[in-house]
Structure 1
Amino acid sequence: MKKHQGYESQDSNGKFVTKDLKEKIQHGDKQFRMSVYKTYVPSFSNLVLYSHWNEELEFLIIEEGSAQFYIGQEKIKISSGDVLIIPPNMLHSASRVDQGEIVFYAVLVHYNFLSSFENDIIQSKYVSSLFLQQRQYPSVIPKDKDSQMGLFSVLKEIIHVYWNKPAGYELKIKAMLFDILFRLEVCAKDIDTGMGRARGSHHSLLAIKLLAFIQENYSKRISLNDMANQVNMNPSYFCRFVKKQFDLTPLELLNQHRLLEAVNLLETSDKKVVEISNLTGFSNVNRFTETFKKAYGYTPTHYRNNILDCSCKYLGGTC
């Protein structure tokens, strides 16, 4: 996966997230607390977006392809033309649902960017309540429903203005963001049926705790009970919790993180496959190879020797 305009590449070693999975990158600066990013996911990358959370309100639009997003306890499939709204402080991630390249843009907005010194009705009724999650909008605005709202086109204009920075662009961006909130306020209730709202702050915190434990201990032998104990659940309920939160079994969740670590080592080191297998917590190299091939369609050796050679395709070169 390649990301532009300052957004981090796929993280597999904690470089861009803290132990509790909060994103480390500051979006914008103290004078202008918003930012825009473009993400390109090549066809051979299974993971679209790693699990993390950030303080900002996030608007995301899909330009090409489709992906399965997990926001809190919600599982949402979005495709080209759809608009996704991710509340502040909500754990979220994404995976692919079919083959092909995926391109999406993210607009992240900090509370301080929209807030004012005066606690007027705009501040209290709309801005503060939105960031405190007391005011919620649908998690996704599908392309066919957006025809009456026009959010996709406004977000595209924000992206254009942000990157081109004409005179007074700061005013334009702030005005367009308030325009988005106005459109949501006017139209969201009419198109809310069946669209869902991001929910599950408590479960999101438990998921963050679990993922932090996996991130710290993936190289060790971890049992089902070990993971369940981290969130004070019995194993049976824990399995249902993980399935609902991530659409994976606990073992699949653990192996997903181990595979991300393995891919990172394959890409950035000359360590042998058997050594990488040991470093990422797999019981033996055969198990590692089997799990890797099931997830990526290639053995670790083939991935290193052949697939990585084609990464130049999405870095601007040719294979």
Structure 2
Amino acid sequence: MEYSHEIIVPNDDLPFKMFIFEGSQGGYIRQKHWHRSIEIFAVFDGEMEFYLNDKRYPLHPGEFMLVNSNELHSIYAPKKNKTLVIQIPVATFERYYTDDGFIYFSHSSRIQDEEVMGLFEEMYHVYAEKKNGYEYKVQSLYYRLLYLLVSKYRKTDLDAEKIRANKKLNKLSTITDYMKQNYSKELSLESIARTFNYSPTYLSRMFRKYAQMSYKTYLDDLRLRHAYNDLMNTDLSIGMVAEKNGFAGSKAFARVFKEQYGVLPSEYRKKN
């Protein structure tokens, strides 16, 4: 599968998002996180590791991973890879929600088939070439994908704990959406708790129990993601990268970066 390294994020012309995985050059770590969209990672070359609720799922060429709405996951991609990411708004599947207003897709590799991988590849190429009428062609492939998801991968026998965790992470998503918009500003636990009418203790407990991480860890990782992009794609100094992304200073940025990548930001930039 041939890729350009251009990130493709259609908005007006398609009802979903499709782009090249940001960790395609390797040396990539993404800590635990969650989102409301259904997310699919399709690997065409190379390999990576997914962790869903602390369970390891290695991915190899020809395999893909379905990440459910509000499902905790992390990604480890140490080597170069060719991976396509598709994000589908969860509301797309509203007609297929369970009685609890929830939809869940299987992760089992036993039911993966070549047709789905073929759809991913064709969708990407048609969109990248943008020939006359490409929107209709891509959407026809997209609706075939939706059909396969609800007819072959959807699960209805959900346990109560999955449903409960989904509801709690939905509440947390309102808070983290606010944090994503304001990550470069001062965001103490106490200030966020006041904004959303929680006590700091209760909010801290919500993060630890349902996001399985501390509030500070989530905030550091959020800032680190943006700082990483600036580090690799701009000529900003390390201090400017830190300041732009909400870190207290270059030392605080370096500490968080080294915890994640094992080296200082300056060393990582030089190497890569």
TM bin (shorter chain): 0.5 to 0.7
Q: 1:106 aligns with which of 85, 88, 98?
A: 85
Task: Give the share of equivalent positions with the same residue, in percent.
Answer: 17
Given the alignment of the two structures, is residue 156 of structure 1 paired with residue 139 of structure 2, yes or no? no
Rate the CA distance shift 1:223–1:128 in 2: closer, same or farther, 3 A. Answer: closer
Partner AA of 2:103 in structure 1: Q
Distance between the aligned counterparts of 2:135 and 2:229, measured in 1? 38
Rate the CA distance shift 1:141–1:197 in 2: closer, same or farther, 3 A. Answer: farther
Distance between the aligned counterparts of 1:286 and 1:110, measured in 2? 38
Q: Report Cα offsets for 1:200-220 as digits up to 9, x if no partner.
A: 256334333235236526443
Q: Return the index of the structure with the highest Cα Rg.
A: 1
Partner AA of 1:216 in structure 2: N
What is the match of residue 61 of structure 1? 42
TM, length-normalised to structure 1: 0.59
What is the match of residue 46 of structure 1? 29
What is the match of residue 75 of structure 2? 96
How far is 1:129 from its partner? Answer: 1.2
Contact 1:162/1:169 (8 A) holds in 2: yes
Q: 1:129 aligns with which of 95, 99, 112?
A: 95
Q: Which runs of 5+ in 1 are unaligned?
A: 8-25, 115-126, 311-319
Instruction: State the secondary structure of the residue aligned to 2:197.
Output: coil
How far is 1:3 from its partner? Answer: 5.1
Contact 2:42/2:85 (8 A) holds in 1: yes
Partner AA of 1:6 in structure 2: I
Q: 1:294 aligns with which of 259, 263, 266?
A: 259
State the superposition RMSD in angstroms. Answer: 4.6
TM, length-normalised to structure 2: 0.66
Structure number with higher relative contact order (C-alpha < 8 Å, ≥ 6 residues apart): 1
Instruction: State the secondary structure of the residue aligned to 1:200.
Output: helix
Q: Which runs of 5+ in 2 are unaligned?
A: none
Instruction: State the secondary structure of the residue aligned to 2:20.
Output: strand
Rate the CA distance shift 1:189–1:28 in 2: closer, same or farther, 3 A. Answer: closer
Q: 2:182 aligns with which of 200, 209, 216?
A: 216
Partner AA of 1:243 in structure 2: R
Task: Count residues with an aligned counterpart.
Answer: 260
Instruction: State the secondary structure of the residue aligned to 1:238.
Output: helix
What is the match of residue 144 of structure 1? 110
Given the alignment of the two structures, is residue 252 of structure 1 paired with residue 217 of structure 2, yes or no? yes
Rate the CA distance shift 1:145–1:100 in 2: closer, same or farther, 3 A. Answer: same
What is the match of residue 82 of structure 1? 64
Instruction: State the secondary structure of the residue aligned to 1:100.
Output: coil
